[in-house]
């Protein structure tokens, strides 16, 4: 590489070029290769086309190179290849996950007695949260969702989930997987800073009247488009009035609750019935790493299944698998544990504070540039702005949309 030349974030090859380089790697043959041969082939054909997360020029809100403590835990987890949903296959892994989940509830200041389970990703966590919400709604209607399905509601088209206009698209996946369809998901307009507008939320509820059954409201605590945090406290009040489940999708943003000067943004999140969080988004732990919190541990019973040989109902040992759907799940909790222990809470907070400070500084700069325009005032680690040539400024001013 020429001195001073900027390293590429990936090879720069086209999809067709990448496919041509990788095709020999999947040309499976009768005879095997030595480990050295396989390593050489992977390093020459695949690695150049991977993203360079470790480069200073790589700026992304979801992925990063593993933090050293997390990398240590990941190596140990892979070496032992533990499925941790059952005590029988990993006594240590099962207990570690249970202890870590309790510790995380305390770390985030959730209601005493709260619990959590490790998930594959935030999408699956959101899906399970909506299933538990719908299950509770069915129970209040006098039937079991697990036994009767959505037809137990008589007219499932009345069911509704309310969320902000910038809520994550995984919620659409969730209502589809539940067999409710896209019309079940009702977006609520945002305020000027791209957060769910609580007044608009009340308007939507009033307009629905008796025509819809709102069983869940989703507050996004850190959208993936602008990083904006919905006002959880007033949304929680509304959910109490409705008797609706409150889910907080904090997959991206919840980590910032640990930063003292940002914690006020998440006021009321402890009142949520369920919360999603993805440690892999800011903590530098390997993908996937996701957590689903619940305020009432009994809510996990709505996804529990027992069998005669696995997760028996009379088992006294800890079996994390009864709290989530996967029957085989890797020990992803270990890299999270080793990372936090290696960094210490002080190090974790400083790691989280750095992007908040950087984005605030950038926003202050953008706000004072005549040819740049802020789309919002950043609350977390994302900033949206546009370049506005002077001759287009007045036209563009009226088309800002977050």
* 89 shares its domain with 103: yes
* 144 shares its domain with 218: yes
* 250 shares its domain with 306: yes
Q: Tens digit of pLDDT for each residue in 34-59? A: 999 999 999 999 999 998 888 877 77
Beta bridge partners of 246: 217
235 within a domain of the structure (yes/no): yes
Omega prior to 288 cis, within 30 of 0: yes
Beta bridge partners of 386: 373
Q: 336-339, long-range: CB within 8 Å, 24+ apart, which pairs?
A: 336/70, 336/73, 336/100, 336/279, 336/283, 336/285, 336/289, 337/73, 337/96, 337/100, 338/69, 338/70, 338/72, 338/73, 338/76, 339/67, 339/69, 339/70, 339/73, 339/283, 339/284, 339/285
* Whole-number Å distance between alpha carbons of 246 and 162: 10
7 within a domain of the structure (yes/no): no
pLDDT value at 377 more than 80 = yes
* 147 shares its domain with 183: yes
pLDDT value at 4 more than 50 = no
DSSP label at residue 339 = H
Secondary structure string (H, E, C) spanning 268-322 = CHHHCCEEEECHHHCCCCCCCCEEEEECCHHHHHHHCCCCCCCCCCCCCCCCHHH
Per-residue pLDDT at 395: 47
Contact 339, 70 (CB under 8 A): yes
* 348 shares its domain with 334: no
Relative to beta strand 385-387, strand 185-188 is: unpaired
* 39 shares its domain with 137: no
9 within a domain of the structure (yes/no): no
* 75 shares its domain with 45: no
* 380 shares its domain with 305: no
Q: Which of 296, 315, 339 is the last residue of a domain?
A: 339
Residues 202-227 have a mean pLDDT of 96
Which structural domain range is residue 29 located in?
15-58
The fraction of the chain above a pLDDT of 90, given in percent, is: 81
* 324 shares its domain with 373: no
* Whole-number Å distance between alpha carbons of 254 and 249: 8
CA within 13 Å, CB half, 299: 28
261 within a domain of the structure (yes/no): yes
Q: Tens digit of pLDDT for each residue in 97-110? A: 999 999 999 999 99
* 34 shares its domain with 178: no
Token code pair at residue 316: 């006294």
Q: Tens digit of pLDDT for each residue in 281-306? A: 989 899 989 999 999 999 999 999 88
Per-residue pLDDT at 392: 58
When the pLDDT of each residue in the chain is averaged and rounded to a whole number, the result is 92
* 28 shares its domain with 151: no
pLDDT confidence band for 7 (50 / 70 / 90): confident
Q: What CATH number did the domain enclosing 283 receive?
A: 3.40.640.10
Beta bridge partners of 290: 119
6 within a domain of the structure (yes/no): no
402 within a domain of the structure (yes/no): no
* Whole-number Å distance between alpha carbons of 340 and 350: 12
pLDDT confidence band for 2 (50 / 70 / 90): very low
pLDDT confidence band for 399 (50 / 70 / 90): very low
Contact 69, 76 (CB under 8 A): no
66 within a domain of the structure (yes/no): no
* 333 shares its domain with 353: no
Residues 358-386 have a mean pLDDT of 93
64 within a domain of the structure (yes/no): no
pLDDT confidence band for 67 (50 / 70 / 90): very high
Domain count, the chain: 3
Q: Tens digit of pLDDT for each residue in 150-203? A: 999 999 999 999 999 999 999 999 999 999 999 999 999 999 999 999 999 999
pLDDT value at 273 more than 90 = yes
């Amino acid at each position: 590489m020429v001195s001073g030349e900027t390293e590429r974030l990936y090879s720069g090859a086209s999809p067709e070029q990448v496919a041509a380089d990788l095709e020999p790697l999947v040309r499976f043959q009768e005879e095997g290769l030595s480990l050295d041969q396989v390593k050489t082939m992977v390093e020459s054909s695949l690695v150049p086309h991977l993203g360079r997360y470790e480069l200073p020029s790589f700026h992304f809100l979801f992925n990063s190179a593993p933090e050293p403590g997390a990398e240590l835990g990941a190596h140990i987890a892979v070496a032992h290849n533990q499925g941790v949903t059952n005590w029988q296959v990993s006594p240590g892994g099962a207990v570690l996950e249970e202890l870590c989940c309790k510790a995380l509830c305390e770390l985030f200041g959730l209601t005493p007695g709260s619990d959590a389970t490790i998930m594959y990703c935030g999408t699956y966590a959101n899906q399970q949260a909506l299933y538990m919400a719908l299950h509770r709604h069915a129970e209040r209607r006098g039937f079991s969702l697990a036994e009767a399905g959505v037809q137990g509601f008589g007219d499932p088209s009345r069911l509704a989930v309310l969320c902000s206009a910038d809520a994550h698209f995984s919620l659409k996946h969730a209502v589809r997987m539940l067999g409710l369809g896209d019309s079940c998901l009702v977006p609520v307009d945002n305020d000027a800073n791209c957060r769910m507008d609580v007044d608009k939320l009340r308007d939507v509820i009033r307009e629905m009247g008796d025509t819809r059954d709102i069983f869940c409201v989703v507050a996004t605590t850190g959208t993936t488009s602008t990083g904006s945090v919905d006002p959880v406290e007033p949304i929680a009040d509304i959910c109490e009035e409705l008797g609706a489940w409150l889910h907080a999708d904090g997959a991206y943003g919840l980590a910032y609750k640990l930063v003292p000067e940002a914690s006020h943004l998440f006021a009321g999140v402890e009142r949520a019935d369920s919360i999603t969080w993805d440690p892999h988004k800011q903590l530098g732990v390997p993908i996937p790493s996701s957590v689903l919190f619940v305020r009432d541990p009994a809510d996990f019973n709505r996804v529990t299944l027992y069998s005669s040989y696995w997760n028996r109902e009379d088992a006294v040992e800890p079996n994390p698998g009864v709290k989530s759907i996967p029957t085989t799940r890797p020990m992803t909790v270990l890299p999270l544990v080793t990372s936090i222990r290696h960094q210490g809470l002080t190090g974790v907070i400083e790691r989280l504070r750095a992007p908040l400070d950087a984005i605030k500084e950038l926003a202050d700069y953008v706000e004072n540039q005549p040819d740049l325009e802020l789309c919002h005032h950043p609350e977390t680690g994302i900033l949206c702005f546009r370049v506005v040539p002077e001759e287009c400024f007045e036209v563009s001013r009226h088309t800002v949309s977050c």
